[in-house]
Structure 1
Amino acid sequence: MSITVTNISKSYKNVEALKDVSFNVKSGELFGLIGPDGAGKTTLFRILTTLLKANSGTASVTGFDVVTDYKDIRNCVGYMPGKFSLYQDLTIEENLNFFATIFNTTLEENYELIKDIYVQIEPFKNRRAGQLSGGMKQKLALCCALIHKPKVLFLDEPTTGVDPVSRKEFWEMLKRLQQKHITILVSTPYMDEAALCDRIALIQDGEILQIDTPKAMISHHKKDIYNVSAHNMYQLINVLKQYKHQHSVYPFGAFVHYTDSRTDFNMADLKAYLESKSLSEIKIEKTLPTIEDTFMELATT
């Protein structure tokens, strides 16, 4: 195993950030930690990258203990924190050379590893980091995290605040890095990115809800899900939440995702109820579950 986490707990005064968290990441795996803001993702990343000590539990990265072998871990991992943390007043080239020097290497020595990413920002290598767009900052930060050829890459919400095109490009880069036998642990609040991982752990309020492949997690969803829409979506949500047979109700893009508590659910009954509440243009259709539906089901039970 590249990463082993066993019963890790961490508290900040009266706030429990992590509660008895355990999971393993296999060598060469792209593993996703999926959850909303405040779920404990960043705290866990800081523990695994030796920047923070847990209150209890143990963890190791590439066989090194995060407490006793912290120097070994820092030499063999790359870490891209959620907030852009490179030197804003240095250029792209200066940032890369600085981080290469820290790890006693050069840009040229590990160029093949970062080539696919670096060629996209090389035309702007003399531009200061603070003047880069969100997508270019992201690529520079990834290059700096890879400059010393790490065995494990930690990416804490790397696509937050980045445009959809750059997000897509970033995940394509991660897939190519995985082919170079780098283990990748990535956290994200975006449920659609979960499907791009080999395995995922859903986390909420510092607790792991479930660990599995995205496909298996979706297949285990038990209740039928329905897309519901009407002329007034705000009113629709409130009315559905008041329905005595509702099991779950939450907005999902242009629809409301609805599950019923009965085994003999009838669309006509629900439509009649909604019409009785002065809603019009009502549409109800069965839909396939997603990772987000699985998360919502686990988080609310």
Structure 2
Amino acid sequence: MNPYKYAIDVQGLNKYFGDKHVVKDLSLQVSRGEIVGFLGPNGSGKTTAIRMLCGLLTPDSGTGHCLGYDIATQSDAIKREVGYMTQKFSYWEDLSIRENLDFVARVYELANRKHVVDEALETLGLTSRSSQLARSLSGGWKQRLALAACMLRHPRLLLLDEPTAGVDPSARRDFWEELHELAASGVSVLISTHYMDEAERCHKLAYIAYGNLLAQGSAKSIIQTQGLYTYEVRGENLMNISKFLAQNDAIEQTVIFGSTLHVSGKNPQAIETILEGHRYTAIPTSLEDVFIYLMKNSKDNFGDENV
């Protein structure tokens, strides 16, 4: 077995599409059995980065290893040992769950296909639905099928590109239980997501905006690093209050959450002075507050989606 310290260990990765600098000096480490959330607005280079890590794209510059293999020269070895789950469901709608998995196992030339497929069906709770056509599956069950296909070769690293987009909360919760079981068994996971509840379930986070990695670490450390103080304002006409407060330089951002307004900034004394006369309470800055702040302060310098 190829020895390695980190499942992912890359430094200074860059990727251009024409004159567009899509990924800029990306450095990232993912340990064994670690779930790392990859976050950022659409068009920020998350998918491009993931494709470089799994050997589907070659970096224009930078160095690194994935499962101990060089990402520039050993992409074929990486492809054999990494499970990659794309944004869109990419299996065959007119085949059953079992037929899909059997076909993938044949493509991989796996020995003892029936046993391998049966094991994947059992692990992901798909046995009772194994004869159901893929086209009739809900988003959550399609997601399980895609994950089962990824797991056929028992990969040591999963690269998951927004796997739960459009999936209901219950199915997302079940999916994350599966991920944590896999991580407990030593599988490493890099997962891109837009859901803050999912981000908080990761061991570590990496936030990329328009090609630049702006923050990485635990959710707690990222929140602390930004140095934001947040207040919850209640009252009527929150939109008007938001517009008024946003004109003040001490207010970094205002965001309406249902019947409350979150007001954030770096100087708590100045904010409290501005909020005099309003009903407000100091609250802990949330991960969502921080990511809205990071997104607002990052610059979209190319503007294309799905990169």
Look up the match of 1:71.
76
Q: Tell me the distance in 2 between the aligned counterparts of 1:45 and 1:102.
A: 22
Q: How does 1:1-301 map to 2 (within 5 A)?
A: 1-105=6-110, 106-109=113-116, 111-112=118-119, 115-117=122-124, 119=125, 121-260=126-265, 262-265=267-270, 267=272, 269-272=274-277, 283-299=279-295, 300=297
C-alpha displacement at 1:193, in angstroms? 1.3
Aligned partner of 1:285: which letter?
A: T
Q: Tell me the distance in 2 between the aligned counterparts of 1:216 and 1:245.
A: 23
Give the direction of change, closer, same or farther, for the CA distance of 1:239–1:113 in structure 2 (3 Å limit): same
| Cα distance per residue 1:115-160 (max 9 Å; x no partner) | 331x2x3322222212211001000000000011111111111111
Structure 2: gaps (5+ residues) = 1-5, 299-307
Q: Tell me the distance in 2 between the aligned counterparts of 1:218 and 1:180.
A: 29
Higher mean Cα deviation, 10-19 or 41-50?
10-19
Q: Tell me the distance in 2 between the aligned counterparts of 1:292 and 1:55.
A: 33
TM-score, normalising length: structure 2: 0.87
Task: Assess if the C-alpha contact under 8 Å between 1:2 and 1:61 holds in 2.
Answer: yes
Q: Tell me the distance in 2 between the aligned counterparts of 1:7 and 1:102.
A: 34
Q: Tell me the distance in 2 between the aligned counterparts of 1:148 and 1:244.
A: 55
Q: Tell me the distance in 1 between the aligned counterparts of 2:187 and 2:178.
A: 12
Task: Assess if the C-alpha contact under 8 Å between 1:60 and 1:66 holds in 2.
Answer: yes
Q: Give the 3-state SS of the residue equivalent to 1:265 in structure 2.
A: helix
Task: Assess if the C-alpha contact under 8 Å between 2:229 and 2:266 holds in 1.
Answer: no
Q: Tell me the distance in 2 between the aligned counterparts of 1:206 and 1:116.
A: 36
| Cα distance per residue 1:165-187 (max 9 Å; x no partner) | 11111111100111111111111
C-alpha displacement at 1:54, in angstroms? 1.9
Task: Assess if the C-alpha contact under 8 Å between 2:105 and 2:117 holds in 1.
Answer: no
Q: Tell me the distance in 2 between the aligned counterparts of 1:142 and 1:4.
A: 24
Q: Tell me the distance in 1 between the aligned counterparts of 2:30 and 2:266.
A: 36
TM-score, normalising length: structure 1: 0.88
Q: Tell me the distance in 1 between the aligned counterparts of 2:164 and 2:68.
A: 29
Look up the match of 1:276.
none
Structure 1: gaps (5+ residues) = 273-281
Q: Tell me the distance in 2 between the aligned counterparts of 1:114 and 1:154.
A: 20
Give the direction of change, closer, same or farther, for the CA distance of 1:260–1:24 in structure 2 (3 Å limit): closer
Task: Assess if the C-alpha contact under 8 Å between 2:9 and 2:30 holds in 1.
Answer: yes
Higher mean Cα deviation, 230-239 or 141-150?
230-239
What RMSD in Å do the two structures reach over aligned CA positions?
A: 2.1
Q: Tell me the distance in 2 between the aligned counterparts of 1:224 and 1:68.
A: 47
Aligned partner of 1:291: which letter?
A: L
Aligned partner of 1:249: which letter?
A: T
**Aligned sequence identity (%):** 34
Aligned residues between the structures: 290
C-alpha displacement at 1:260, in angstroms? 3.9
